Structure 1
């Protein structure tokens, strides 16, 4: 009988499971056998069946040798394409490349004259991997086929030629150092919105920010959530990352609203206005209340669109549906089904539905789509409206003078019960969730509850889902932040039933994924920022630098080996710098230590003395920050010294500086407490003032003026 330990070790290597990792304290943490078995189980392997393990290993080892070409080949222009053939070699092989623009290149080669990469003996046969020289090709998606001279096919691959790096806007290339606010859109208050920041607020806030000198406006993920279950409001656990959160729609900005007497009468009633006033007045977003109001009106506006819309508007909607095709159809069908099942009392998304509905292409789903075609169409219409209003906000930012415009945020994964996993169930490892090992933000580790891409299946599909995801989130001439950019290299998988600390790292093809990011970035003229906080392997930072992906540097973590804060001059040029993030407390809370009190009340310190230790460490941190300011000739005056810290970071050569409106408003309540779910109302806290009022305050104007003076273009 084969040695089980040896089989597990071989399968671990084939699946890219890390044997150990270095934690945030610099300690090496080995992967336990229990965790390894759990992670292999997430790939569908039975760790207790040695015969099954042996068969799985044989298949994985043979697969990439017995086929001539892999499903996808991602290379820079001019690189040789590896392919595999049987020995003895054919006397001649024909190659044929169809370029993305339809042009065709072809030729004939003698395999014996090609460079040999490697030989392998499998199942009594010898295979040889060779390197094929192909003509220099433009960046893009091409198709390479190999055949015998008689025309019979040998194999094919999607040949992705990558550019030298990501797009960097001209202003940044010319030395500009820009700044802007980092906004959680739902936190915006205004006298006209319906209890949550919306796309009309976004356009106005962008214009007001540009008037203060901002060139970029950062946003939380705007991905589609769950209108039928509005309490599922976490922007980093979306239903679908391909589409938008319709709660941000401004119903009164839809052209058909003005033609709908019924909708206008409904909104004008004293009862409805009282509901809106109550929603605006709360300190926390009332997601069920906001969703109920908006959907009630949006359904009426949709009915009037169906009955009364002019030909031009109908044609625009049809073009939108054609553009997004099957992806939009599946998304819309999912949400129509979710409405149906939630109304019947079934919560939790598609895994809780009857099994007949688990297949989007199955008979049950098809019958529902036919019977409830209008409901399905309604959800597609909502996406069209949302996309149009977001595009108008992006246009407003540009028209106001922002050189970078809107900055979108791509979440690391979708909710396990949402439209994205329903439509592409085979693409995800459902036996594990994504999280993070213990770190300073969450000493118990984190389990985000979202399923990871199966790296093998993703590659077998030639990375098409990943490419579509980039296209859906890269705004042209804008900025994309990739949350947890380490996902391009490795993800912390937590096996089902295990704690986050019992997870392990699964590796992905960093070179290929980074090449796709660069290709889509250049096509959309979109600056890419990788959120590289936490434990960052050197391979990731090296790949980011090579591909032109900007780093994400946050002041509290930018320390030298002795614990002192890094000087502004030592920050990298290709970086975004910030005082904090949505996972950190606002500056006022950080300075007072009230965030430590909150975490203690929530039971987030595993050991009894850790809160006291944290308070002592915070006192040292504050002292070192004051020391860092004075070292740069900045005398701290504020308590906390917000203006001085903004000036400190603003003096760095880093191209982008992001600031939080919460700090301008001296707020202490965090928007999110990592490591909590129901213990704290994450993603609900609003700003404490209406944005049209506080954006014109003298204090905010002075803060902005100070930033602008410190971020003038420098010579490069």
Structure 2
């Protein structure tokens, strides 16, 4: 059980044994967390009484509702939303009314491609896949029965300095990376044709290299975008959008300018710029007003291009568990974070040393005292395109493994979070945006988590590589997949090359588990020992198609019969993680027999009895 700081003094390890957390670890984490306060919002499910006492409720739209002096609670018919309760002494408290469940359309079932957007290049790409290429994936997918596309996180990174390759280490989870822009589609690009055509030629010359050079791509795109901005300006549509945005956009754009001046790590800036509310920050923003608007314009462009994709096919975005401690979100919310802590994972059968992710956690009581605003803004931004949201390491809504600075992952402890509140807020934002929610519940999942997620209509995540039972036994309320970006592709597993790579890199792979997965795959069909990679891919998706899951996903790596996976955890310095383009272009994938076969198999599996020709979308 957690103490009043939320620190758990023991935990169950991967082998099922109970392990005590050293007293010194508990004491240090308590000191970092500080004495918790009880203040925070009042969150109530729609139709249930809210124990406010007498006072006045101010609804989200400004409508006042009096709570009688003799009443113990607010009316039970309050609308969903973020309201305020003001007591007779004038003290205000946030009152949030939430739905019981996330958005999940009755009878909806679909399959979709899981795409690493940067890796999905076409003949029009400038060295890496972009949102124009994603639009191509969406159109191709819809034409062949797909109902959504799942994408890697698209979060912003610092515009200055090396471009962070990992999508799971963003500077911000609320804003997007303009590296993904299709420059030719930017309004005003036609006014500087020589600049854009020259940049396009330089960008496309990078397509000859399998390894993606994000720094080179960004230099080329930034010069072209700056030329468009100087010549064409933003326009009235951007001006209207900009005026409607919350203060966080201007603060983000200011941060971007400051990174260009002082480097990507805000803790290395002059001390008078460390506080985002400081007068020196306001002065810098005023001095660089045009550049601030430029960075805001880039966000508008990404919003437009991603929105265009989502209008053609629902886009399921991916929410990382955290963000860069030297990035924008950490700069703006530094007072709510434990910056001298990283989240990670205790030792388990796959990693006996444990894992250190380098991501700072929110202090639970401080997050609550802030009315959960950072969580709300993050979820809202991630669901803005509608479609859906995959929550990476969804167990982090319940507890996170905290590792204090200077300690090893084995010397951490779990810190408990207010899961009921966070799940309620997830449901509210999901219903408002029409986004289906998937919880990535792989690995060690404590008892009671999956039932709580299911009660909220948050889909479980089931992988062929992890599950020993036949897919036909998996729960319908799940997203089913063969593999993920962190695990072997079908071709890499089948031919043994992924295992060989892990051995070569000295990563001590789990060979027994890999052999068991190979044996299960071989038994489907059955597959002959000398079956090709393409045959193994099709067999794997025929097996996956047995799952009754409402969402089925297929990776573009498998469609390309690619043996190398996007990421091998723990090998960032040993191989180009998150930087390998697919071995074939999107143009070639469209004519791939293997890709077509996967699509046919999954289309047949998800075709409803009442509708044999089309699929409902997530948001309609």
TM, length-normalised to structure 1: 0.81
Q: Name whichever of 100-109 and 544-553 sits farther off.
A: 100-109
Shift of 1:419: 1.1
**What is the CA–CA distance in structure 2 between the aligned matches of 1:163 and 1:470, rounded to whole Å?**
16
Shift of 1:371: 2.0
Whether 1:449 aligns to 2:358 is yes
Aligned pair partner of 1:75 in 44, 53, 57: 44
- Give the conservation status (yes or no) of the 8 Å contact 1:75–1:512: no
Is the partner of 2:565 in helix, strand or coil? coil
Aligned to 1:469: 378
Aligned pair partner of 1:381 in 275, 297, 312: 297
Whether 1:143 aligns to 2:84 is yes
**What is the CA–CA distance in structure 2 between the aligned matches of 1:557 and 1:305, rounded to whole Å?**
52
- Which structure 2 residues correspond to residues 249-288 of structure 1 after superposition, within 5 A? 249-260=181-192, 264-269=193-198, 272=199, 275-288=202-215
Is the partner of 2:142 in helix, strand or coil? helix
Aligned to 2:92: 156
- Which structure 2 residues correspond to residues 298-337 of structure 1 after superposition, within 5 A? 298-306=225-233, 314-337=235-258
CA RMSD for the aligned pairs? 2.2
Aligned to 2:526: 635
- Which structure 2 residues correspond to residues 569-584 of structure 1 after superposition, within 5 A? 569-584=472-487
- Give the conservation status (yes or no) of the 8 Å contact 2:463–2:483: yes
**What is the CA–CA distance in structure 2 between the aligned matches of 1:166 and 1:642, rounded to whole Å?**
33
- Give the conservation status (yes or no) of the 8 Å contact 2:538–2:594: no
Aligned to 2:514: 618
Deviations 1:333-375 (A, max 9, x none): 1111111123xxxxx5101112111012213222222222222
CA distance 1:267–1:145, shift in 2 (3 Å): closer
Deviations 1:450-505 (A, max 9, x none): 11112111100111121111111114541111111111111111111111222111
CA distance 1:451–1:163, shift in 2 (3 Å): same
Whether 1:365 aligns to 2:281 is yes
Q: Name whichever of 35-44 and 419-428 sits farther off.
A: 35-44
Shift of 1:440: 4.5
- 5+ long unaligned stretches in structure 2: 612-620
- Give the conservation status (yes or no) of the 8 Å contact 1:177–1:653: no
Aligned to 2:618: none
Whether 1:536 aligns to 2:445 is yes
Deviations 1:577-626 (A, max 9, x none): 00001111211112233323322333333xxxxx5xx3344223322343
Is the partner of 1:243 in helix, strand or coil? strand
**What is the CA–CA distance in structure 1 between the aligned matches of 2:604 and 2:74, rounded to whole Å?**
53
CA distance 1:139–1:277, shift in 2 (3 Å): closer
- Give the conservation status (yes or no) of the 8 Å contact 2:472–2:546: yes
- Give the conservation status (yes or no) of the 8 Å contact 1:442–1:604: no
- Give the conservation status (yes or no) of the 8 Å contact 2:151–2:315: yes
**What is the CA–CA distance in structure 1 between the aligned matches of 2:337 and 2:357, rounded to whole Å?**
15
Aligned to 1:658: 553
Aligned pair partner of 2:130 in 185, 189, 198: 198
Aligned to 1:503: 412
Q: Which has the larger Rg?
A: 1
Aligned to 2:616: none
Aligned pair partner of 1:166 in 99, 102, 108: 102
Whether 1:550 aligns to 2:459 is yes
Aligned to 2:495: 592
Is the partner of 2:578 in helix, strand or coil? coil
- Give the conservation status (yes or no) of the 8 Å contact 1:470–1:520: yes
CA distance 1:440–1:252, shift in 2 (3 Å): farther
- Give the conservation status (yes or no) of the 8 Å contact 2:315–2:385: no
**What is the CA–CA distance in structure 1 between the aligned matches of 2:392 and 2:513, rounded to whole Å?**
28
- Give the conservation status (yes or no) of the 8 Å contact 1:439–1:534: no
Shift of 1:136: 3.0
- 5+ long unaligned stretches in structure 1: 1-8, 45-55, 65-69, 84-92, 115-131, 343-347, 398-404, 559-564, 606-610
Shift of 1:36: 1.7
Q: Name whichever of 23-32 and 650-659 sits farther off.
A: 23-32
**What is the CA–CA distance in structure 1 between the aligned matches of 2:79 and 2:246, rounded to whole Å?**
27
- Give the conservation status (yes or no) of the 8 Å contact 1:568–1:651: yes
CA distance 1:304–1:506, shift in 2 (3 Å): same
Shift of 1:273: 5.8
**What is the CA–CA distance in structure 2 between the aligned matches of 1:254 and 1:375, rounded to whole Å?**
18
**What is the CA–CA distance in structure 1 between the aligned matches of 2:136 and 2:563, rounded to whole Å?**
25
CA distance 1:302–1:32, shift in 2 (3 Å): same
Aligned pair partner of 1:209 in 117, 123, 141: 141
**What is the CA–CA distance in structure 1 between the aligned matches of 2:501 and 2:27, rounded to whole Å?**
37
**What is the CA–CA distance in structure 2 between the aligned matches of 1:385 and 1:200, rounded to whole Å?**
12
**What is the CA–CA distance in structure 2 between the aligned matches of 1:490 and 1:543, rounded to whole Å?**
14
Is the partner of 2:517 in helix, strand or coil? helix
CA distance 1:603–1:376, shift in 2 (3 Å): same
- Which structure 2 residues correspond to residues 621-700 of structure 1 after superposition, within 5 A? 621-627=517-523, 629=524, 634-636=525-527, 638-640=531-533, 641-700=536-595
Runs of at least 4 residues of structure 1 off by over 6 A? none
Deviations 1:524-579 (A, max 9, x none): 11111111111111232121111110111111211xxxxxx212221001100000
Deviations 1:494-518 (A, max 9, x none): 1111112221111111111000001
Aligned to 2:617: none
Aligned to 1:562: none
CA distance 1:443–1:283, shift in 2 (3 Å): farther
Is the partner of 1:13 in helix, strand or coil? coil
**What is the CA–CA distance in structure 1 between the aligned matches of 2:360 and 2:590, rounded to whole Å?**
40
**What is the CA–CA distance in structure 1 between the aligned matches of 2:551 and 2:408, rounded to whole Å?**
37
Q: Name whichever of 205-214 and 195-204 sits farther off.
A: 205-214
Shift of 1:109: 4.0
Deviations 1:394-437 (A, max 9, x none): 1233xxxxxxx111111111111111111221121112011122
Shift of 1:695: 1.6
- Give the conservation status (yes or no) of the 8 Å contact 2:189–2:196: no
Aligned to 1:47: none
